Amino acid sequence: MRALREAMSGIRRAPVLTLLSVMAIGLSVFSIGLFALTAHNIDVALSDVEGRVEVVAYLRDDASEEQIAIARHEIESFPEVESARYVSKVEALYEASRELTEFSDVYSDLEVNPLPASLEIRLEPDHRTPDDVEAVADRVSAYQFVEEARYGREWVDRIYSLRRVAGGAAAILGISFATGAALLIGIAVRMSVLARSREIAIMQTVGATDGYIRRPFLVEGLVTGLAGGLLALGLTWGSYEAVQRTLVSLAWLPVPWTAAGLAFAGILGMLAAGRAVRRELRRLDVH
Partner 1 sequence: MVQLRSVTKSFGGSSAAVQDISFHLRKGEFAFLTGDSGAGKTTVLKLIHMLHRPTSGEVRVSRYSSSRIRRRDLPGLRRRVGYIFQDFRLLENLTAEENVAFALEVTGMPRAKIGPRVQKLLSQVGLAARAQAFPRELSGGEQQRVAVARALANEPLVLLADEPTGNLDERASAGVFGLFQKINASGTSVLMATHDAELIRRHRDVRVIELEQGRLVFDSAGETE
Positions touching partner 1 (CB under 8 A) are 2, 9, 13, 198-199, 201-209, 212, 285-287
Distance CA 181, CA 183 (A): 5
Closer to partner 1 by Cβ: residue 245 or 287 = 287
Distance CA 258, CA 97 (A): 47
Closer to partner 1 by Cβ: residue 38 or 204 = 204
Distance CA 12, CA 73 (A): 69
Give min distance, CB of 185 to partner 1, in A: 25
Angle between helices 210-246 and 2-13 (to 10 degrees): 60
Compute and round to an integer the Cα radius of gyration of the chain: 30
Closer to partner 1 by Cβ: residue 80 or 220 = 220
CA atoms within 13 A on the CB side of 244: 11
Distance CA 160, CA 151 (A): 14
Cβ contact 101:69 at 8 Å:
no
Give min distance, CB of 48 to partner 1, in A: 58
Closer to partner 1 by Cβ: residue 184 or 218 = 218
Closer to partner 1 by Cβ: residue 101 or 205 = 205
Give min distance, CB of 15 to partner 1, in A: 14
Distance CA 191, CA 224 (A): 14
Give min distance, CB of 171 to partner 1, in A: 38
Give min distance, CB of 246 to partner 1, in A: 50
Give min distance, CB of 198 to partner 1, in A: 7
Closer to partner 1 by Cβ: residue 85 or 278 = 278
User: Within a 10 A sphere around the Cβ of 63, how many other Cβ atoms?
Assistant: 17
